[in-house]
A and B are shown apart, each in its own frame.
Chain A
Amino acid sequence: MRRFAELFESLDTTTSTRAKIDAMSGYFRSAPPEDAAWAVYVLIGRRLKRSVGPAQLKTWLLEESHLPDWLVEETVGSVGDLAESIALLVPSAVGAVDAGGAAVDLPLSEWFESRILPLADQSVEERRRHIVDWWHALSYRECFLVNKLLTGALRVGVSRSLVTRALAEALDQPRVQIERALIGAWNPSAGFWEALTLNQGNLHVAQPYPFFLASPLDGDMQRLGERGRWAAEWKWDGIRGQIVRRGGVATLWSRGEEVITDRFPEIIAAAAALPDGTVLDGEVLAWRDDRVLPFAHLQQRIGRRKLNAKLLREIPVRFVAYDLLECSGVDWRPRPLRERRAALQDLLFGGGEVLTVSPLIPGATWDALAVARGEARGRGVEGVMLKDWDSPYGTGRQRGAWWKWKVEPFVFDGVLLYAAPGHGRRSNLYTDYTFGVWNGATLVPVAKAYSGLTDLEIQSLDRWIRSHTKEKFGTVRSVEPCQVFELAYEGIASSGRHKSGIALRFPRILRWRIDKPAAEADSLANLEQVLASSAHGA
């Protein structure tokens, strides 16, 4: 653990990319294989199934800190991180020691395998006893880290690509190879690390490929050259996924690298007809009466614990394929899109409704494409995608070959009603805002937003919130309703769970309308009108 804690410290105390890569590759070269495997697991953001939740930890913190509940709440709100708050508030030792008083240093893998993972099979009392013991026995730094590992998210400012760069340097292997091996399901173990170092990776039978991602386009088509160089498709708003059909089995992966096979049995049934050694990239969409349904429907399919016949009937899905990544067991990613797409069309031709090819948008000019994009909203899609006909299928977000050209978002003016402190680097600042619109003479909350303001605006708004607080509810403050913000959102649906009766998709702040009085903010009626007129609101 000490070695990993030192790695964490080095990563956490520099903003230099080079220094971070050096720190990681140094660790990967020197750590025992099973520790290195666990470190990769944690650093790329993999999470264990949690056996204790934050609410549970907070309860124990309340008991162990000997402080009033509200003060602990206020402190956690201000610190903006529960794991860190525990390390700050629970009186801790200098570090773990054994019975003879010598410092104990359990390897990272041991921490996971003989301490954290076994929590899953313990009673709540046992879990409490162990975890609270750790809090008291560990130094501040170790206590913070163990809490982070328990709650699952160790954010230390390294991206996945930074980790793969460090691995590539430490193991002297091409990055693509590393990327491929880290996709999908794998167990952190000495065996995994060995396979990684021997360049065998962990290519199990259902291994997907890293997804290729598009970059946003600002609308300047001239840079792209001839329209004819580009394939244009609709930008579907569903779940990006890969169907991997190998070894007689079909597996559906989400872009979050989770297996979602059991959520979509009809897609798996259709995929059974694919030849072995096929991998498709595409989008899972809810689809009924020849139309795509809003994303909210698809969420029901993911959210339910058990799928029943009624849900399967009411929310049918299909897989709209974009690309062919593997054909007859051969990696086709290096081939040009032109070739991959032709083969994809041949493959799925006449194959039924559940597996289809994402259609191309016709039109020989950029102007024609702009007109088509104008129809996007009516079709229930987010905009258009442009893909270079000659491009290979890349990895991650490499600019140049794939572009997304989204439709303009919906906008409305909302009044700031509540503010709560943010997390992580926004700790101790009020950055989580709730906005309302007019319903008659009262303001009703319709959206929460966290992003869109500059650091300077956040600081200035934070000061304003503190000096214009009406009431405090725990860490949330209600403020005088006079600050107006322009907000953007991607879609609207009716909702029984919200007081306003509507739910907005991906709301975020566009501008602080200092020029606008609260009375001129939007009304709920305006939003309901958008709901009614959006082609197929839920």
Chain B
Amino acid sequence: MDATDLICVTAAGLYCAVGDFHIDPWRPVKRALITHAHGDHLRAGSERYYLAESGAALARQRLPPDAALVPLAYGEPVHFGTACVTLHPAGHILGSSQIQIQHGDRTWVVSGDYKRDADPTCEPFAVLPCDVFISEATFALPAYQWTDTPRVAREILHWWVTNRARGCASVLFAYSLGKAQRVLAELARLTDDRVYVHGAVASMVDIYRQRGIAMLPTKPAASLEAGAYAEALIVAPPSAAGSPWMRRFGEHRTGFCSGWMRVRGDRRRRGYDRGFVLSDHADWPSLLRTFRETGAGRILLTHGYTDAMCRYLREQGVDAAPLRTEYGAEE
């Protein structure tokens, strides 16, 4: 990589030498700038965490109690060494940020995970003109194109109502931070009914509520007698699938909310009855649109289908390269 690059990959993660800080490091470092609170981006052990103020409570929940957090407002410039850093919304989950780094006349942006679709639970993605855009590529294949969210929300509601009519519970799997709250917020536009939530989802729902985000009323999934769930919608993390925890629901159908559900084989392999195509990542057209809108002359890709996207961009005359990071393909 170019010796004058503002950001490079080290053993600990993405590193900015002129500012002496890391972004979403996978090993403990002195100063960690955090794009969002998902486990593969926020790891314990660093001395100090800088992150968007709206995501601070989520990070506090996920880090050890003594972790040092420095909340920053979106758009507020902060100086690290000779670099000027500003956080801007990424539209991925509550408090998710893109990290803009300015040094001399150069501007680099690290996207973290992001999406362009509307989401009532977080601030919308901001387009930041830059020289180099470091992007995710989780769904960087043309097969991945999302349907609009209100339609998916109606599909979920219709599924719930149909199951209810048959007298069986609906267990909807969604990542406990972000996706679960987005589903509850989207459904709140269509119904007022109560939803039962897994403990991992509940603690995140509380934090979202404290931020004033409107969602369906929820109750802990453990609050009913076993077998009394015949008409309920239960939201749980995918890790709960197939666990003894599921037994209490009696006869039930399962659904999974994820961009991966765009491909039928993926859903069938995971054994869910229904797949709902709902992602917190950018789909193929959104990735391309974002690259175009930033005006970046160079695109670096951190995780996902990086090879395919790089080759495609290069064939379009765009300077693109993959970065070897340890971010995951989970949503």
Distance in angstroms between the alpha carbons of A71 and B141 in the assembled complex = 8
B2 in the interface (beta carbon within 8 A) = no
Distance (whole angstroms) from the CB of B179 to the closest CB of chain A: 20
Distance (whole angstroms) from the CB of A192 to the closest CB of chain B: 30
- Indicate if the CB atoms of A428 and B266 lie closer than 8 Å: yes
Residues of chain A within 8 A (CB-CB) of B273 are 13-16
- Indicate if the CB atoms of A71 and B142 lie closer than 8 Å: yes
Distance in angstroms between the alpha carbons of A15 and B254 in the assembled complex = 9
B262 in the interface (beta carbon within 8 A) = yes
- Indicate if the CB atoms of B143 and A78 lie closer than 8 Å: yes
- Indicate if the CB atoms of B142 and A425 lie closer than 8 Å: no
- Indicate if the CB atoms of A71 and B253 lie closer than 8 Å: no
Residues of chain A within 8 A (CB-CB) of B143 are 75, 78-79, 85, 88-89
A513 in the interface (beta carbon within 8 A) = no
A65 in the interface (beta carbon within 8 A) = yes
- Indicate if the CB atoms of A15 and B271 lie closer than 8 Å: yes
A34 in the interface (beta carbon within 8 A) = no
Which of B40-48, B51-59, B116-124, B308-316 binds A? B308-316
Distance in angstroms between the alpha carbons of A424 and B311 in the assembled complex = 26
Distance (whole angstroms) from the CB of A400 to the closest CB of chain B: 30
- Indicate if the CB atoms of A67 and B142 lie closer than 8 Å: yes
Distance (whole angstroms) from the CB of B191 to the closest CB of chain A: 21
- Indicate if the CB atoms of B265 and A74 lie closer than 8 Å: no
Distance (whole angstroms) from the CB of B288 to the closest CB of chain A: 12
Checking B271, B274, B312 against A71 with a beta-carbon cut-off of 8 angstroms, the contacting residue is B312
Distance in angstroms between the alpha carbons of A80 and B263 in the assembled complex = 9
Residues of chain B within 8 A (CB-CB) of A425 are 265, 268-269
Q: Which residue of A lies closest to B144 (CB)?
A: A88
- Indicate if the CB atoms of A427 and B315 lie closer than 8 Å: no
Distance (whole angstroms) from the CB of B119 to the closest CB of chain A: 23
- Indicate if the CB atoms of B268 and A157 lie closer than 8 Å: yes
Checking A14, A74, A84, A89 against B263 with a beta-carbon cut-off of 8 angstroms, the contacting residue is A84
Distance in angstroms between the alpha carbons of A15 and B256 in the assembled complex = 14
Residues of chain B within 8 A (CB-CB) of A78 are 141, 143, 263, 305
- Indicate if the CB atoms of B142 and A75 lie closer than 8 Å: yes
Checking B141, B265, B266, B269 against A75 with a beta-carbon cut-off of 8 angstroms, the contacting residue is B141
Known A-B contacts A13-B274, A70-B311; A65 and B142 likewise in contact (beta carbons under 8 Å): yes
- Indicate if the CB atoms of B264 and A12 lie closer than 8 Å: yes
Residues of chain A within 8 A (CB-CB) of B142 are 65, 67, 71, 75, 88-89
Distance in angstroms between the alpha carbons of A423 and B262 in the assembled complex = 15
A426 in the interface (beta carbon within 8 A) = yes
> How does the 8 Å CB contact mask read for A433-459 relative to B, with 1 for contact and 0 for none?
000000000000000000000010000
Q: Of residues 46 to 101 in A, which have CB atoms within 8 Å of B's CB atoms? A: 65, 67-68, 70-71, 74-75, 78-81, 84-85, 88-89
Distance in angstroms between the alpha carbons of A343 and B300 in the assembled complex = 78
Distance (whole angstroms) from the CB of A61 to the closest CB of chain B: 11
B294 in the interface (beta carbon within 8 A) = no
Distance in angstroms between the alpha carbons of A191 and B136 in the assembled complex = 58
Q: Which residue of B lies closest to A455 (CB)?
A: B269
Residues of chain A within 8 A (CB-CB) of B268 are 157, 424-425
Distance (whole angstroms) from the CB of A422 to the closest CB of chain B: 8
Distance in angstroms between the alpha carbons of A427 and B266 in the assembled complex = 6
Distance (whole angstroms) from the CB of A404 to the closest CB of chain B: 30
- Indicate if the CB atoms of A81 and B264 lie closer than 8 Å: yes
Distance in angstroms between the alpha carbons of A78 and B284 in the assembled complex = 14
- Indicate if the CB atoms of A428 and B263 lie closer than 8 Å: yes
- Indicate if the CB atoms of A427 and B263 lie closer than 8 Å: yes
- Indicate if the CB atoms of A84 and B274 lie closer than 8 Å: no
- Indicate if the CB atoms of A424 and B265 lie closer than 8 Å: yes
- Indicate if the CB atoms of B253 and A88 lie closer than 8 Å: no
- Indicate if the CB atoms of A74 and B308 lie closer than 8 Å: yes
Residues of chain B within 8 A (CB-CB) of A429 are 269
B203 in the interface (beta carbon within 8 A) = no
> How does the 8 Å CB contact mask read for B259-302 relative to A, with 1 for contact and 0 for none?
00011111011010110000000000000000000000000000
- Indicate if the CB atoms of A426 and B269 lie closer than 8 Å: yes
- Indicate if the CB atoms of A88 and B274 lie closer than 8 Å: no
Distance (whole angstroms) from the CB of A466 to the closest CB of chain B: 10
B145 in the interface (beta carbon within 8 A) = yes
Residues of chain B within 8 A (CB-CB) of A424 are 265, 268
Residues of chain B within 8 A (CB-CB) of A13 are 273-274
Residues of chain B within 8 A (CB-CB) of A74 are 141, 308
- Indicate if the CB atoms of B141 and A427 lie closer than 8 Å: no
> How does the 8 Å CB contact mask read for A242-259 relative to B, with 1 for contact and 0 for none?
000000000000000000
Distance in angstroms between the alpha carbons of A424 and B264 in the assembled complex = 8
- Indicate if the CB atoms of A423 and B253 lie closer than 8 Å: no
Q: Which residue of A lies closest to B260 (CB)?
A: A428
Checking B141, B145, B265 against A423 with a beta-carbon cut-off of 8 angstroms, the contacting residue is B265
Distance (whole angstroms) from the CB of B139 to the closest CB of chain A: 11
Residues of chain B within 8 A (CB-CB) of A427 are 263-266, 269
Residues of chain B within 8 A (CB-CB) of A79 are 143, 263, 265
Q: Which residue of A lies closest to B275 (CB)?
A: A13
Q: Of residues 138 to 178 in B, which have CB atoms within 8 Å of A's CB atoms? A: 141-143, 145
Q: List 10 A-B contacts (CB under 8 A).
A: A13-B273, A14-B273, A15-B271, A68-B315, A71-B311, A78-B143, A424-B268, A427-B263, A427-B264, A428-B265
Query: Chain A interface (Cβ within 8 Å of chain B)?
Result: 12-16, 65, 67-68, 70-71, 74-75, 78-81, 84-85, 88-89, 157, 423-429, 455
- 10 interchain residue pairs of minimum CB distance: A427-B265, A425-B268, A425-B269, A88-B143, A80-B265, A75-B143, A13-B274, A425-B265, A14-B273, A75-B141
